[in-house]
Structure 1
Amino acid sequence: MPESTSTTSSEPSARAQTGGPYISASTSLPEITPKALFLGFILSAVLAGANAYLGLKVGMTVSASIPAAVISMALLKAFKESNILENNIVQTAASAGESLAAGVIFTLPALIMLRYWEGFPFLETMSVALCGGIIGVLFTIPLRRALILEAELQFPEGIATGEVLKAGDRGGGGAKYIAIAGLAGAAMQFFQTGLKVVGDSVSGAVTAGKSVFGIASGLGVALLSVGYIVGLNIATLVFLGGAIAWFVGIPLYTALADPATLQSIVGDATGWDAALSVWDARIRYMGVGAMATGGLWALVALIEPIRDGIRSSMDAVRRAKDESTPDITRTERDTPINFVLGGAAAMAVPIFIVFTFVVDQTGLGISSGLYWLTIVFGVLFAFVAGFLFSSVAGYMAGLVGSSNNPISGVTIATILTVSLILLVLLGSQIDFAVDTSQAAAAAATAILVGAVVCCAAAIAGDNMQDLKAGHIVGATPMNQQIMQVVGVVAASLAIAPVMDLLFSAYGFGDVLPRAGMDPSEALAAPQATLMSSVADGVFSRNLPWTMIGLGVLIAIAIIVWDKWLESRESSFRAPVLAVAVGIYLPIDLSVPIFIGGLIAYFAARSATKKAGEEEPESQRGLLFASGLITGEALVGIFLAIPFAIQEDANALAISPDMLGLSPAAFATMEQTLGVVLFAGFCFWLYQVAKK
C-alpha cells in the first residue's frame, strides 16, 4: 500500500539494468529448494505481521522486497551452497506476505468498526486473504510479458531489488544496515509504546476568530522512513493533502459551519482536539471524493495497457496450442495459461463459500432468492473488479513502485460502487433508514467484496515488482509465480491471529475490545475506518456528499495540474492519489513523512555532488530506512502480546512516581525526549544516506 508516486532518489536508475539477465537463460541453478521454501514461508508470515502493524498504525505500507532480499542473503550464507536465484525465490515469497497484509488491513478491520465482527475469526479471515491473494497472482501472470517486456515501465523497487541481489551475490554487506537500524528502531518503539517514557507525537493549535488551525507531528521512525522511501515528490504531495485538509478545510469549516452543528461535532473539545474532531467527522470525506476520482482516473488512463494485457494472454493461449512453437527459454517460461485460466475459474468456488459464511441472511433480513442473488453478484463483481484492478495495480507498480501503489483508492472506488449497486438491489426489501443493523450488514457485504479485490490488487503490484527483479537476475518466472502462491498461503495463515492479537492489545479506530482501555492507544487503521464510513454512509444515507463533492473537485484540479506538468516535461509530477492520501491521513502522519522526503532529497544531492554523478546508486539509505520500519513494526507486534495478556496497553509503562516526577514534569520530559531522539534519527538517516 501502498499509496503515492515516483521513484526515490536512493533507487538505482534504469541504466543499472542494461544488458541481459545476470544469470543467462542457458544456465540452470537451483531455485525452489527446501531451504528456500522454508525461509520464504517463514519470512512471508513474519513480514505480513510486521506490515499489518505498520499499516494499521500509519495507514501506509512499504515494499518488503529489499529487506526480504537482504535478510535472505544473510540467512542463506549459513548454508554451504546457495545462489542468487534462491535468494530471489525467498524474497519473492516473503514480499508477498507484506503485500497481502496491506489488502487485509485496508478492508477487514472495517467489519470491526461496523460492529459486524467482534474479532477476526481464523477461517473467514484466512480464506478471504487466501482467495484474494491467489487470484491476484493468477491475474498478473498473463500481464507479465506486456508490462515488463513490452510496456517499458521502470518498476523502481523491482530494479532496486535486482541490484541488491546482484550486489549480495558479489559480496555486498547491506545486511548490517538493516540490522543496526532494526535494533535502533526497535529500541525507539519500545521506549515510546512499551515503557512510554519517550513521546510519540507533538501537537498544538491556534485559534483565529472562529477558525481553528491544528498542527501535529508524529515522532515515530517508521513514518520518517516511509517519507524517505517514497521520496520528496510524493512526501510533498502527501503533506500538500494534509495542508489542504488541516490549514484550509478545518479553519474554513470551523469559521462557517452552523454553530449547533459544530457543537455536535466538537462537544467540549478545544484546540487540537476540536480540529481533530472536525477532520474526523467532516473534512476527511474530501479524501473519499479525491480517492474515488483518482481511482477512476487510473482506470481510464490504463484502458490501453489492460487491453494489451488481455491480447497478450490470448496470444499465449494460441501459441500454447501450436505444436510448432519453439521451446520457450527458461527466463521466459510462465505458468501454462491453461493452468492460469482453470485456476482462476476454480477460485470462484471457495470465494462463493466464503461469502455464504460471512454474509448473514438473517442480519440482512432478505428473502432467500435475493440473498443468493446478492452472493452471486458479489462473486462476479469481485472477479471482474479483481482483474481490472490487478491490471491497474500491476501497471501502477511499474510507474511508481508497489510502496506507492494507490491500492486504497481503487478499493474505495470498488466499495462505493458495490454499495450503491447493493442499495438498489436490496432496497426493494430493506428500509435502510429504519433498520441500522441491516444497513451495517449490507455495508459489511460491500466491504467483503472490496477485501477480495484489495488483496488481489495488492498482490498484483508486488508480484510485478518481483517478476521485474527476477527478469534482471535471470530467474524462471514460473518458479517465482509458484513461490508467490507459497507466500500468499503463509501470510494467509499468519494474518488472522496477528490481527486478533493487535485488536485485543490496542483496539482499532474508535472500537475498543474492553472497557477501560485508553482510546489514544488504539491503532488508527485509517483506510479501514474510511472504508467502513463510506459503505455505512451509503446505506444510512448520511454521507457528507458536499465534502465528497469538494474532494472530487480538488482531485480534478490536481489531475489538470499534473497534465500541465506533464506537458512541460517537469521532473516533479502530481499524482492525484498521493494528495488524496494526505487529505484523509491525520496531519501528524503527514509531517514526519514530509521530513523523511526532505532527508531523501538533501542526502541524494550530497551523494551526487560527492560522487560527481548524475544519480547516485547507493542503497544504504534505503536499507537503513527499511530496517527502521522493520524494527518498529516487529516490536509493535511483540508488545501486543503482554498488552493482550494483561488486557492493558500500559502494562509495561513507567509511571511518574517511579521516577519521582510530577505528572506535568513527566509529560515535559516525555515530549522533550521524543523530539530530541526523533531529531537524532533524522540526522543519523541523513548521514547514512548521503555516503
Structure 2
Amino acid sequence: MSPAPPHIAGTTTLPELTLRGMILGALLTVVFTASNVYLGLKVGLTFSSSIPAAVISMAVLRALRGGNILENNMVQTQASAAGTLSSIIFVLPGLLMIGHWHGFPFWQTLGICGAGGMLGVMFTIPLRRAMVVNSDLPYPEGVAAAEILRIGSAPLDGIEGERTAADASGSVSAGAGANGADANAGTSAQSEIGARDIAFGGIVAALFTFATTGLKIFGESITAWVPAGTAVFRLTTGFSLALIGAGYLIGIVAGLAILLGIVLTWGVAVPILTATTIHPADPSISSFATGLWAHKVRFIGAGTIGVAAVWTLISLAKPMIDGVKASFAAFGHARRRRENALAADRTDEDLAPHWIILVTFVLVAIWLVTFGAFLSDAPLTFRVVGSLVLCGVVFAVVFGFLVAAACGYMAGLVGSSTSPISGIGIVAVILVSLLILGVSQASGLLASDEGRQLAIALALFTTSAVIAVATISNDNLQDLKTGWLVGATPWRQQVALLIGCVVGAAVIPPVLNLLYHAYGFAGALPHAGMDPSQALSAPQATLMTAIATGIFTHQLDWSMLGIGVALGVVLILIDMALARRGGTARLPVIAVGIGIYLPPTIGTTLVIGAVLGWWIERALKRRAKARKIDYQEFADHANRRGVLLASGLIVGESLIGVVIAGVVGFTGKDAPLAVVGNGFAPASEWLALAVFALVCLVFARRVLAAAR
C-alpha cells in the first residue's frame, strides 16, 4: 500500500526534542506515573496518558509563546512512555505480599523497570516501517493523539504552503494562507478549552475523592447481600469517578463483557459455591462469600484471561511473523540508504542499528546486575546464584522479545488500552515458575520454606521484567504511529521514549513506597493496627502471586484454572461465531475474565462508565438525526470533550489519592483528615450515591453541550 504523507513534510525541519520539551515531559511524567500507579494498585487498570499529555503540552507551550506540533508530540511521547511503564505494578507488589521485600528498593526497582522499558523500545524499532508506515493496522490511540495534535497546534507560516504544493490531495490544514491568523486563534482556543476540560474533570474528581478517602463524609461503595437459602448473591457498586472515566474510555462492548464476568461470578459461581460449601460458624455471609471468590472463583478469571491471551497470540502469529520479516528487510534497506547518504527524509530515520545493538547489550548487562543484586542475600553458592540469574535474564529477554512483537501488533489492532497485558503476565508467571522449578530441583533450593519463597520471588521478579518490555512495546508503536502522522523524526521519538522510561522508572519506587506505607496492599500491611478494608487491592499482583505460590507449593487450584480455560474456549468460539456473522457485535474474552477477577465494586463502576458513554452516544445520534446532519461531524467536539473529561477524572482522583497517602504516611494515622466517625457510614453511602449520580449527570450534560 502507499502510505499517506505526514502532516509536516520530511524536508521541513522544526524544533522537536527541545530542552524545555524534555523538562515539561518529565514533569508530566511524574504526574501521570503517580496517577497510573495509584489507579493500577486500587482497581487493576491504567490509562493512556497520550491525549491528556498532548493537550497540556499545547496549552503550556502556547502560554510560553512557542511550541509546534512536533515539539508537542515529543512531550506526549515522553509522558506516555512513563505512564505506560507504571503497569509494572501488576507484579512487583507480590514481592511484599510473600514477605520477600518490606519496601521497594530504589535501585533494583529502577533497574528492572527502566531497563525493561528501554528494551521494549529497542525490540520494536525494527517493526516501525512494516507495522506503522506500510500497515493497515488502525492504532486507535495513536491516530486519536495525532488528531488532537493537528487540531490543537496552530498552523506554521510557510509550512502549510509547502504542504499544499507537496500534497495536491488537500490534506493541509484549513488555516493556511490568508486565514492563518484566524486558524491560530481558533486552535489556540481549542487547546485552552481542552486544558480546561481536563482541569474541570480533575478538580471535580479530586474534591469528590477528598470527601471520600480524606474527610470520610462519602462512602466508597454500597453493597446489598442477598441470601437465597444457603446461596449468597451480591449487588454492589463503587463510587470512584476515576472508574467512571475509565469505563467511558473502554466503551460499551468491553463494558458489557465485564458485566458478563460479574454476572457469571456473583450471579452463578459464588452462589453455587456458597450453596455447596459448608458454612463456617463464625464468619458473616459477606466474609464467607468474599473468601470463596478470592481463593477459588478468581482463578476462573485467571484461566479465562490466560487462554484468551494465548489465543490472541496464535491468531496473530502469521501476520505478526510476516510483519517482522518485512520490518527487518526494510530496516536493512534503510541502513544501506543511510550508509550511502541517500536518505534525505528525516521522517524515515530510526536509531542507527549499531546504537540499537549497543544499547540492547548495555540494558541486558544492567538486568544481569539487577538480578544479581536481587539474589545477593540468598544463602546460596555462587554457582547456583549464577544459574538462577542467567535463567531469569535469558527467559526475560527471549520471552520479552517475542512478546514485544506480539504486543506491538495487538496494540495496532485493538489499541494499547485493550491489549491483554494481564493475560501475558499470567502466561509468563506460569512458564517462568515451571522453568525455575525445574532448575531449582537439582540445587535443593526448594527443600526449605526460605528457598521456596526465594524461588517464588525470582519468578515474580522475572515476570515484572517481561511486563516492563510488553507495556512499552504497546506504547512505542502507538507513539510512532502518532509521530508518522504528524511528521515527526522517528529516532528523536525513540530517544524521547527512552528518556520517558528512565524518568518513569525513577518515579515508580518512591510512589510505591508512599502508597504501601499509607494504605498497605491486600495481604501485606506494613504496620500493626491498619484497616485491611483501606488496603489497595493490587488485583493482578495478588493473582500472579497466588499462581506462582501455588506452583511452587503444589497447591495451585488447577481445577478452577481449568474451568476458566474451558470458559475462555467457549467464549472464544462465541466471539468467532459473532465475527463470521459480520457487524459490530463482538465478545472481548479478556474483558470477561477481568470482570471475574476484579472486585465487583470496581467492575460495576466500570460498567456504569461504559453505559454512560453509550447513553451519550445515543443522545448525540438522535440529535444529529433530528437536525439531518452527519453524526461524525456533529459529535466530533463532544467525543473529544468526553475523552478529556474522562482523563481529567482519572488524573484528579489518582493525584489526590497520592496526596492523601502522603498525609497518612506523615501523620502515621489511617484517617487523619476524617471529620465523621464509623457511625456515619450508612448515611455516607447514600450521600455518596446521590453526589455520584449528580456528577455523572453533569458529565453527560457537559459532553452533550460540546456537540456542534
TM-score category (smaller protein)? over 0.9
SS at match of 1:25: coil
Q: Determine which of 202, 205, 227 is the counterpart of 2:225.
A: 205
What does 1:30-429 align with in structure 2 at a 5 Å threshold?
30-102=15-87, 104-169=88-153, 170-171=187-188, 172=190, 173-257=193-277, 259=278, 263=280, 268-315=282-329, 316-321=331-336, 323-324=339-340, 326-327=342-343, 329-360=345-376, 362=378, 366-429=380-443
Query: What is the identity, as a one-letter code, of the residue corresponding to 1:214?
Result: R
Q: Matched residues in 2 for 1:574 and 1:221: separation?
A: 26
SS at match of 2:378: helix
> Is the contact made by 2:3 and 2:134 (CA closer than 8 Å) also made in structure 1?
no
> Is the contact made by 2:127 and 2:328 (CA closer than 8 Å) also made in structure 1?
no
SS at match of 2:218: coil
Q: Matched residues in 2 for 1:620 and 1:79: separation?
A: 24
SS at match of 1:542: coil
Q: Deviations over 1:39-79 (max 9, x none)?
A: 11121122111110011001001101011111111111121
> Is the contact made by 1:198 and 1:674 (CA closer than 8 Å) also made in structure 2?
yes
More moved, 484-493 vs 352-361: 352-361
Q: Matched residues in 1 for 2:236 and 2:288: separation?
A: 13
> Is the contact made by 1:158 and 1:469 (CA closer than 8 Å) also made in structure 2?
yes
Query: What is the identity, as a one-letter code, of the residue corresponding to 2:575?
Result: D
1:537 positional shift: 0.9
Q: Determine which of 529, 539, 542 is the counterpart of 2:555.
A: 542
SS at match of 1:223: helix
For structure 2, list consecutive stretches of 5 or more residues without a partner in the other structure. Answer: 154-186
Q: Deviations over 1:402-437 (max 9, x none)?
A: 1222111101100110001111221233374x6332
1:131 positional shift: 0.8
> Is the contact made by 1:467 and 1:480 (CA closer than 8 Å) also made in structure 2?
yes
Query: What is the identity, as a one-letter code, of the residue corresponding to 1:178?
Result: I
Q: Determine which of 621, 642, 645 is the counterpart of 1:621.
A: 642
Q: Matched residues in 1 for 2:334 and 2:133: separation?
A: 18
> Is the contact made by 1:291 and 1:413 (CA closer than 8 Å) also made in structure 2?
no
TM-score by length of 2: 0.90
Q: Matched residues in 2 for 1:77 and 1:319: separation?
A: 36
1:25 positional shift: 1.8
> Is the contact made by 1:136 and 1:460 (CA closer than 8 Å) also made in structure 2?
yes
Q: Matched residues in 2 for 1:561 and 1:120: separation?
A: 43
> Is the contact made by 1:215 and 1:588 (CA closer than 8 Å) also made in structure 2?
no
Q: Matched residues in 2 for 1:271 and 1:216: separation?
A: 15
1:243 positional shift: 1.6
SS at match of 2:67: coil
SS at match of 2:63: coil
**Structure 1 pair 614/566, CA: closer, same or farther in 2 (3 Å)?**
farther
Q: Deviations over 1:635-687 (max 9, x none)?
A: 0011111100122221111134xxxxxx54x2232111110111112112222
1:150 positional shift: 2.8
SS at match of 2:396: helix
1:329 positional shift: 1.6
1:111 positional shift: 0.4
SS at match of 1:572: coil
SS at match of 1:202: strand
CA root-mean-square deviation? 1.8
Partner residue in 2 for 1:518: 531
Query: What is the identity, as a one-letter code, of the residue corresponding to 1:446?
Result: A
TM-score by length of 1: 0.92
Partner residue in 2 for 1:560: 573
Partner residue in 2 for 1:5: none
> Is the contact made by 1:204 and 1:272 (CA closer than 8 Å) also made in structure 2?
no
Q: Matched residues in 1 for 2:107 and 2:319: separation?
A: 36
Partner residue in 2 for 1:643: 664
Partner residue in 2 for 1:12: none
Query: Is 1:483 aligned to residue 500 of structure 2?
Result: no
Q: Matched residues in 1 for 2:145 and 2:123: separation?
A: 23
More moved, 42-51 vs 541-550: 42-51
**Structure 1 pair 424/19, CA: closer, same or farther in 2 (3 Å)?**
closer
> Is the contact made by 2:133 and 2:484 (CA closer than 8 Å) also made in structure 1?
no
Q: Determine which of 3, 6, 21 is the counterpart of 2:6.
A: 21
Q: Deviations over 1:311-334 (max 9, x none)?
A: 134311354146558315222221
More moved, 239-248 vs 532-541: 239-248
Query: What is the identity, as a one-letter code, of the residue corresponding to 2:365?
Result: V
Q: Deviations over 1:132-187 (max 9, x none)?
A: 11001111111111211233111111111111111211331211100111100100
> Is the contact made by 1:203 and 1:272 (CA closer than 8 Å) also made in structure 2?
no
Q: Matched residues in 1 for 2:149 and 2:370: separation?
A: 39
Q: Matched residues in 1 for 2:354 and 2:322: separation?
A: 19
1:82 positional shift: 1.2
SS at match of 1:445: helix
Q: Matched residues in 1 for 2:217 and 2:651: separation?
A: 21
**Structure 1 pair 204/222, CA: closer, same or farther in 2 (3 Å)?**
same
SS at match of 1:448: helix
Partner residue in 1 for 2:174: none
Aligned length: 658
Higher-Rg member (1/2): 2
Q: Matched residues in 2 for 1:348 and 1:157: separation?
A: 30
> Is the contact made by 2:408 and 2:474 (CA closer than 8 Å) also made in structure 1?
yes
SS at match of 1:77: helix
> Is the contact made by 2:128 and 2:327 (CA closer than 8 Å) also made in structure 1?
no
> Is the contact made by 1:202 and 1:671 (CA closer than 8 Å) also made in structure 2?
yes
> Is the contact made by 1:361 and 1:371 (CA closer than 8 Å) also made in structure 2?
no
1:614 positional shift: 4.5
SS at match of 2:222: strand
> Is the contact made by 1:436 and 1:540 (CA closer than 8 Å) also made in structure 2?
no
Query: Is 1:503 aligned to residue 516 of structure 2?
Result: yes
SS at match of 1:204: strand
SS at match of 1:213: strand
For structure 1, list consecutive stretches of 5 or more residues without a partner in the other structure. Answer: 1-16, 657-662
Q: Matched residues in 2 for 1:653 and 1:328: separation?
A: 63
